[in-house]
Amino acid sequence: MPIVQPCWYHSADRPARIEKIGPDGARHAVSIIVPTRNEAINLPPVLELVWPFADELIVVDGHSTDGTRELAAECGARVLLDNGKGKGAALRMAIEAAQGDILVFIDADGSHDPRDIPSLVKPIVDGVADHVSGSRMLGGSDELHATLHQFIRLFGSQMVTLSINYTNNVRLTDCQNGFRAIRRDVARALDLHENITTIEQEMVIKSVRLGYRLAEVPTHEYARANGESNFRVRKVFARYITSWLHYLLFWRPARRLPRPDGELTPSSSSGSSGSVNPVSHA
Ligand SMILES: Nc1nc2c(ncn2[C@@H]2O[C@H](COP(=O)(O)OP(=O)(O)O)[C@@H](O)[C@H]2O)c(=O)[nH]1
Ligand SMILES: [Mg+2]
């Protein structure tokens, strides 16, 4: 099988520049976190294009057997070995280990264009959001349409999004995208527990419930460049349902957490601009 380069690899239509100085003059450090499981073929172009944005590059690996960890280390990434429980557990480990004050999560399979990282990070640097999710509904997706399997994923994802919207008075469009940026202190305050990809919806529901400012920016999801998805609907279906019901119906924050500046988080974001979608409290 020939190796396919991600289709974003050669596009140079956007400047590969990231603004890290906030309105208060403070410089933010960005940790980019890449979960991997047997992604040696897909990883090099991803790491090459994320490096210019990163103050720290973490590859958190799920016991790959194809040399992913060695390759990541050769590329200069800090390599962590997850506990074998899944992508969610891997992200939790990376959240604890990361040193940057802004964390960016991007998949290793070529489905996310690293050139979208500046727009994910910008609302946090500008001080108008605490957590920014890429939205495939706003930016399009090659991965969610065409087959029955993809339809089931899209349908499930939209049901979860709708239920979060109507129970929390927000207007999210995508709550399960793996491509997102979040302040490190916020990610740690969420006290995440999910071991698999249900961690995405856990992050979103808890951010909303705790009053953190959530925003979305359009990001396109490409079909993975090579290999097969690790996602198996049948294997994770039950956990998606129980996790969704648990966080939606039963999980309540003990209290709204104070932001590090001492203020309680406001109930709506303000000042966001351009293609940023402030989802809070429509
Ligand atoms: N560390 C770690 N990464 C994983 C694991 N499972 C999947 N990944 C990575 O998580 C990302 C998303 O997984 P993928 O298989 O593409 O699933 P999909 O995008 O949901 O279809 C990819 O970068 C995978 O290599 C795991 O158990 N541990
Ligand atoms: Mg994928």
Q: Over the stretch 82-109, which tens digit does the pLDDT of each residue have?
A: 999 999 999 999 999 999 999 999 999 9
277 contacts 216 by C-beta, under 8 angstroms: yes
Q: How far apart are CA 179 and CA 219, in angstroms?
A: 8
Query: What are the tokens at 170?
Result: 């927000």
pLDDT at 225: 86
What is the mean predicted confidence (pLDDT) over 55-84? Answer: 97
Atom of ligand 1 at shortest range from CA of 197? 20
Question: Closest ligand to 228 CA?
Answer: 1
Position 179 pLDDT exceeds 90: yes
Cα of 226 to ligand 2 centre, how many Å? 10
**Pocket, ligand 1, Cβ cutoff 6 A:** 35-37, 39, 60-62, 82, 86-87, 90, 107-109, 111, 178, 197, 224, 229-231
pLDDT class of 264 with cuts at 50, 70, 90: very low
Range with the largest mean pLDDT of 182-186, 264-268, 278-282: 182-186
pLDDT at 265: 40
Among the listed residues 33, 16, 21, the one whose alpha carbon sits nearest the alpha carbon of residue 184: 33
Measure Cα distances from 55 to 10, 30, 84, 197, 270 in Å.
23, 5, 27, 26, 28
Give the domain 30-254 fold: Spore Coat Polysaccharide Biosynthesis Protein SpsA; Chain A (3.90.550)
Q: How far apart are CA 207 and CA 66, in angstroms?
A: 36
Measure Cα distances from 137 to 9, 13, 177 in Å.
22, 22, 10
Model confidence, pTM: 0.90
Q: Which residues pair with 182 in a beta bridge?
A: 103, 131
21: enclosing H helix or E strand: none
Q: Which amino acid is at 237?
A: F
7 contacts 115 by C-beta, under 8 angstroms: no
Q: For ligand 1, atom 16, which residue shows the shortest CA distance?
A: 229
What is the mean predicted confidence (pLDDT) over 130-151? Answer: 86
Query: What is the SS3 assignment for 142?
Result: coil
Q: How far apart are CA 170 and CA 256, in angstroms?
A: 17
Among the listed residues 193, 204, 164, the one whose alpha carbon sits nearest the alpha carbon of residue 95: 193
Q: For ligand 1, atom 9, which residue shows the shortest CA distance?
A: 36
Atom of ligand 1 at shortest range from CA of 143? 21
